[in-house]
Amino acid sequence: MANTYIEMDTLKFLLFNVHDLKEVLQQERFAEYDEESIAMMLDSVKDFSDKELYPYFKEMDENPAHFKDGEIIVHPQVNKYMKEGGEMGFLSGPFSYEAGGMQMPSMAVNASAFIQEAANNHLPGYIGLTIGAAELIVHFGNQFLKDTYVPKMIAGQWGGTMCLTEPQAGSSLSDIVTTAVPVGDSYKINGQKIFISGGDYKGAENIIHLVLARIKGAPAGTKGISLFVVPKNRLDEGGNLEDNDVTTVGDFQKMGQKGYCTTHLFFGDKEDCTGWLVGEPNQGLKYMFLMMNGARIAVGRGAAAIATGAYHASVSYAKERPQGRELQRTGKKDASQEQTLIINHPDVRRMLLLQKVITEGSLSLVFLTSRYQDLSQSLPDAESRAKYKLLLEILTPVVKTYPSEMGITSVNNGVQVLGGYGFCSDYILQQYLRDIRISAIYEGTTGIQSQDLLGRKITMENGKALQLLSEEIRNSINESMVHESLRPLAEKLGSKLELTQKVLQSLMGYAMKGDYQRFLADATPFMEFFSTIIIAWQWLDIGREAQKALISGNTNFSAEFYENKIHAMQFYFKYELPKTTGLSEILMDKQALTLNTEKQVFA
């Protein structure tokens, strides 16, 4: 295994320089923090990850979580990580002081989580879902629920999950059938849930499940779904834990992320499972989306982290592996020469650069959405908060999807860099490839995210979110035009904004006619088109900050560091951005080849 899984200089450059964490820290909500304290925190997270996460990465894959004698057996490091993570503030970071948290900016929280996920993506999910479940209780639960569950969850003593999917429903949540029958001030819960990450494991004192269910007599479809807190163990009148009739009936053995358990749960097998309503009846899906949106950003962040670890493993291998001779300009090779390292071969360099631009562009997008999240919560005036909330809304499906889909492409190229060894378990690339594959499925598949982007976010408030986003991009273009070396790239990005308008005009024609099936049929190619442009914007910002640092003689990082960022930006604009031209042709083509017809195309 490579001994490097992240480059802290790149993380800090993106966080502090490109996305200006300082502006966020100037808001009253984050007055207790400054850049120095955040940097020290991130260094301590890196030191912790070096010792407590990264050394167990391969081991957790080789000794996966598994179901035995009615329990999920996990690696011992899981319980240790929950306990020590609680002590280090990994769970309490995003919560307000009133909720017992550290009130840390989302940008810093996501930077910390990214480091951990790059070190070992099998562990942070246990903490991430606990945070999400506790956030739901804080936002929508009554005081009893807050006092009973949140303190121990954010201390790392109790875990948390979200329980949505059922065997017959899948992603179609309108079809869930888990029931809730009122009994006094609580409810009797009955039903089953599948694919529950971190759903239960040996050694966990308690797991607090956030469960979607239907109250008897509720409306059909998504309008009749309510949200409940259903603990694995409930508190009796004496404050002691007792069984709450939540049964683990099995687990799912996965191709990757094997140390992160995924369970099948049954609620109320003995008709003695108690749940407590969160908020109002029939508002469960609305509430759950608060957690799901945060989870979608987390999935993109995790995919970016996995791809980053794979990138560094690829680079390390390429710097050590001799093979072949360099091709001379004449087209000949000198067989008498010693073998050259494969990093000197142009096609290997192309694959490594592709990995680099995907991973760093993805991390930049994670920090951008985190910045929007922070500003939408902390700015003093309502109009500005609303602006950043819209920007966050339109980019959430993108930040979930681009790192996931292109992260798979990135790691796949890493396997190719290693050649035959990449396919062997002796080397870590195959594990990264297996681990990242779930990212395009987690928390809403790529198809679901793409329909959300095109069908909801692009059109929301008569296109206001898209208008605001376009203004943000044009501001970056205008700032970049000042630098002569960046002007051609800025102009290219500007032309892609114009192309986006042409594509949307073509697609909107179907929506105007009421043909929404045709309008959304190519939502996934649109996501690829749109996100490729968004990442070009990120790289223009990265390149501009590097250029400004070189001009000013900034020595926070080396001149070579800044020059490498500019080189990567140029690579993205040459090799990736032009792909949008072909995608635009697909999107504006009038043929409808994927719609269901009477023709037996799969016969």
* Residue 506 confidence (pLDDT): 97
Q: How confident is the model at residue 1 (pLDDT cuts 50, 70, 90)?
A: very low
Distance CA 422, CA 414 (A): 8
How many Å apart are CA 345 and CA 348, to the nearest integer?
A: 5
- The whole-angstrom separation of Cα 220 and Cα 91 is 36
Mean pLDDT value of segment 152-165: 94
Share of the chain above pLDDT 70, in %: 99
Look at residue 380 and tell me whether its pLDDT is greater than 60: yes
Does the pLDDT value for residue 3 go beyond 70?
Answer: no
DSSP for 490-513, written as a single string: HHHHHHHHHHHHHHHHHHHHHHHT
Closest CA to 318 of 417, 410, 413, 412: 417
- Which residues are CB-contacts of 347 (< 8 A; sequence separation ≥ 6)? none
Bridge partners, residue 191, by sequence: 267
The tens digit of pLDDT for each residue in 91-101 reads 999 999 999 99
The region, left, alpha or beta by phi > 0 then psi within -120 to 50, assigned to residue 190 is: beta
Minimum mean pLDDT range among 94-98, 373-377, 404-408, 597-601 = 597-601
Over residues 215-237, the mean pLDDT reads 93
Maximum Cα interatomic distance, the chain, rounded to a whole number of Å: 87
Question: What is the structure's pLDDT at 107?
Answer: 98
pTM for this model (two decimals): 0.95
Mean pLDDT of 79-87: 96
**What pLDDT shows up at residue 220?**
87
Q: Please check the confidence at residue 560 and state whether its pLDDT lies above 90.
A: yes
d(CA 87, CA 385): 32
Average pLDDT over residues 81-108: 96
Contact 327, 333 (CB under 8 A): yes
CB contact at 8 A, 389 and 420: no
* Average pLDDT, rounded, for the chain: 95
Structure tokens at 226: 């309510």
pLDDT score for 335: 77
Quick one: 294 exposed, middle or buried, by C-beta within 10 A (0-12, 13-18, 19+)? buried
Extended beta strands in 177-261, E state: 179-183, 186-197, 207-215, 226-231, 233-235, 241-243, 246-251
Residue 173 — pLDDT band, cuts 50, 70, 90? confident
Residue 344 has a CB neighbour count (10 Å cut-off) of: 16
Active site residues: 443
Per mean pLDDT, which range of 69-73, 503-507, 599-603 is the poorest?
Answer: 599-603
Tokens linked to 6: 């992240």
462-489 burial, b for 16+ CB within 10 Å, e for fewer? eeebbebbeeebeebbeebeeeeebeeb
More confident position, 448 or 331:
448
95: Cβ contacts below 8 Å, ≥ 6 apart = 101, 102, 103, 134, 135, 138, 150, 154
